Chain A
Amino acid sequence: EAQVTQNPRYLITVTGKKLTVTCSQNMNHEYMSWYRQDPGLGLRQIYYSMNVEVTDKGDVPEGYKVSRKEKRNFPLILESPSPNQTSLYFCASSFGRQGYTTQYFGPGTRLLVL
């Protein structure tokens, strides 16, 4: 089944404790992206990647890191999480390098930073 998977689905952590949210897609998509969704602010793009070893900042990259060592995986790293990073995070992938085609979203990761 074609899908985007994220782990974990729920995470409670404390300020400053490094964490990684994994994202994997099995559709051989070139474009992958991370978003956060907050009430009243909608979806905001954190980072995106148009190909392996190519990553670019979205609108809200501060406090986040990503890597794209393999086509299928695009982990999101919070080196030192802070409470303002409490949010619902989505990973997505799409065919083609510019993200113009259908975005397939993962199920989301709900993060709470205490």
Chain B
Amino acid sequence: TQLLEQSPQFLSIQEGENLTVYCNSSSVFSSLQWYRQEPGEGPVLLVTVVTGGEVKKLKRLTFQFGDARKDSSLHITAAQPGDTGLYLCIGAGGTSYGKLTFGQGTILTVHP
């Protein structure tokens, strides 16, 4: 069974602080997706990374895919209360064709 270890599980910070969420695995993935989920709704895609070493930016969010395509990180600069939510990483294209691998999720709370 493939695992995608996501950390930290909980993060409570003040507005303006920076933070990083990690997803690590011993498996290689063809792609890794980051989603954000608000209470009462389904997850919504933020970004997909597919190339080892790839870095993608989405305003204050920076996503990185490890060189070996086994790990990824999400860095938020100057967090705002609107960033509050559940962040999920999902790996695709591991050893099981068609099966996705999920991180446990990070619940982020940004206090004004």
Contacts and interface: CB of A to CB of B under 8 A. Distances in A.
Interface residues of A, number: 27
Interface in A61-114: 90, 92, 97-103, 105-108
A99 B44 contact: no
B33 A102 contact: yes
Given A59-B1, A98-B93, A41 B98 contact: no
- What is the interface of chain B mostly: helix, strand, loop, or mixed? loop
Nearest to A56: B98
Interface in B30-61: 30-31, 33, 35, 40-45, 48
A106 B45 contact: no
Given A100-B92, A106-B42, A108-B40, A50 B98 contact: yes
A105 B102 contact: no
B99 A108 contact: no
